[in-house]
Amino acid sequence: MATLEGFRVRNFGVLKDVTLGRLWDRQKTEALTPMTAVIGKNGVGKSALFDAFGFLADALKSDVEEACDVRGRGGFERIRTQGATGPIEFDVYYREHGNARPITYQIAIAADKFGRPYVLRERLRQKRKGQKSGQPFSFLILNNGSGAAWKGEQAGHQIDEETEDSQLLLEFIKAEESRETEAIELNDPRKLGIATIGALKQHPRISDFRRFIERWYLSYFTPNAARSLPLAGPQKHLNSHGDNLGNVVQFMEREHPRRFQAILKKIADKIPGIDQIDTEKTSDGRLLLRFNDKSFQDPFYAQQMSDGTLKVFAYLLLLEDPTPPPLLCIEEPENGLYHKLLETLANEFRVHATRYRGGSQVFITTHQPYFVNALEPKEVWILEKGTDGFARIRRASEDALVNNMVEEGVPLGSLWYSDYFDSR
């Protein structure tokens, strides 16, 4: 399973420079855990952090210009940290599987003199097999859409940071062009190089990385979307808004009846009355999602069900997806849920995230101490706004006292509730 070990964001809204977990140049820092939760007051940047993942996924799917405009982001200048003049930058540090050598991806996005966003720089690097020390080797270097990529699993080039951006470097790469090296010239400055080059078989590492980001799942679930009437037809995965909930039920009923029964049992334990969920096809080919309640003769349809019921059901379906995404991001999963469900839900997320095979890494933002009660200090990151107006982040486990108290049985959420995490 591919895992994200660290993530750095620069010049993205309130996130002027924020790092979570390990990076290629921060090897001493502990990597992200299978489950990560970000907490903090209003306006500190939780949504911005969630959106940084969303922005990167959107940029890969379409291009950086579209990513700046969609989902109400409002364009490059609105997104970029106020007062900053440098590019928006993301660093992703990840492993394709448990014992793979980690890979670093770096991207910088700037705007031209007409304000149009474009990809200024892209870089992928990895150490060679058996390489203990020294810098990792770059296997993709693009500056303004031109540069080089190294084929296969091993090749690459060690580059002195000083010369990274210079024309000299690119000339050197081109002169060195060989069986392993390929000069790259992209014709659309808004498209990510990994999107184009990652489609080529001779670049397996770039393809794997592209697929890793492509498969991130960001939940934009709304109960109303789950109430829509999709056309019938089984679908494997819940989409990001959740408007194909019925289609996923059709798929699970047919292909994974045992898993589906397990979901029904879980939902019956959590929400009074529900004992069966199934689908019904209308005569015009649409799909109705039916909830059967023991106390009533006729079923209720999704359109009549409560927001919280639909939400819990959608989460349970996500967690039982037989081929889950590598990363699952959910903003404030607690909204609309009964407070006593939250610890159970947090535990279910963790069970899913730590599954030996077939789980997703989980990234959550939350306001809910009950949810945080189920978490360990190294899973919790505290965002706050500094006096300069920019976000700062720290890991709850950086405070030895917090670790001690949690070890002695004080739940993390209650420490937070009693303002223990406020900057002192």
Ligand X SMILES: Nc1ncnc2c1ncn2[C@@H]1O[C@H](COP(=O)(O)OP(=O)(O)OP(=O)(O)O)[C@@H](O)[C@H]1O
Binding site for Mg ion (CB under 5 A): 46-47
Sites for ligand X among residues 80-109 (CB under 6 A): 80-82
Ordered strands of the 391-395 beta sheet: 217-219, 327-331, 361-366, 35-39, 380-385, 391-395
Are residues 174 and 148 in contact, defined by beta-carbon separation less than 8 angstroms? yes
Q: Choose among ligand X, Mg ion, none what residue 40 binds, the Cβ cut-off being 5 to 8 Å by kind.
A: ligand X
Query: How far apart are CB 423 and Mg ion at their closest, in Å?
Result: 20
Query: How far apart are CB 331 and Mg ion at their closest, in Å?
Result: 7
Q: Choose among Mg ion, ligand X, none what residue 54 binds, the Cβ cut-off being 5 to 8 Å by kind.
A: none
For residue 149, the cross-strand partners are 140, 182
Judged by CB under 6 A, the stretch of 43-51, 65-73, 111-119, 176-184 that binds ligand X is 43-51
Are residues 355 and 81 in contact, defined by beta-carbon separation less than 8 angstroms? no
Are residues 20 and 6 in contact, defined by beta-carbon separation less than 8 angstroms? yes
Residues 354, 355, 356, 360, CA torsion sign: negative
- Nearer to ligand X by Cβ, of 42 and 187: the residue is 42
As given in the structure block, the two tokens for residue 380 are 């919790």
Query: Is residue 48 at the binding interface for ligand X, with CB under 6 A as the rule?
Result: yes
As given in the structure block, the two tokens for residue 414 are 């209650």
Judged by CB under 6 A, the stretch of 45-53, 124-132, 319-327, 337-345 that binds ligand X is 45-53
Sites for ligand X among residues 329-388 (CB under 6 A): none
| Single-letter amino acid, residue 318 | L
Integer Cα distance of 77 and 68 in angstroms: 9
Query: Is residue 392 at the binding interface for ligand X, with CB under 6 A as the rule?
Result: no
Integer Cα distance of 419 and 85 in angstroms: 36
Query: How far apart are CB 14 and Mg ion at their closest, in Å?
Result: 11
Of the residues 21, 40, 189, 324, which one makes contact with ligand X according to CB under 6 A: 40
Integer Cα distance of 196 and 123 in angstroms: 14
Q: Choose among Mg ion, ligand X, none what residue 145 binds, the Cβ cut-off being 5 to 8 Å by kind.
A: none
* CB-count burial class (<10 Å; 0-12, 13-18, 19+) for 278: middle
- Nearer to ligand X by Cβ, of 184 and 364: the residue is 364
Query: Is residue 54 at the binding interface for ligand X, with CB under 6 A as the rule?
Result: no
Query: Is residue 43 at the binding interface for ligand X, with CB under 6 A as the rule?
Result: yes
Long-range contacts of 300-303 (CB under 8 A, 24+ apart): 302/226, 302/227, 302/245, 302/246, 303/227
- Nearer to ligand X by Cβ, of 14 and 287: the residue is 14
Query: How far apart are CB 191 and ligand X at their closest, in Å?
Result: 24
Sites for ligand X among residues 1-20 (CB under 6 A): 13-14
Sites for ligand X among residues 247-286 (CB under 6 A): none
Ranked by CB distance to Mg ion, the top (closest) residue is: 47
Of the residues 1, 26, 29, 47, which one makes contact with ligand X according to CB under 6 A: 47
Query: How far apart are CB 332 and ligand X at their closest, in Å?
Result: 7
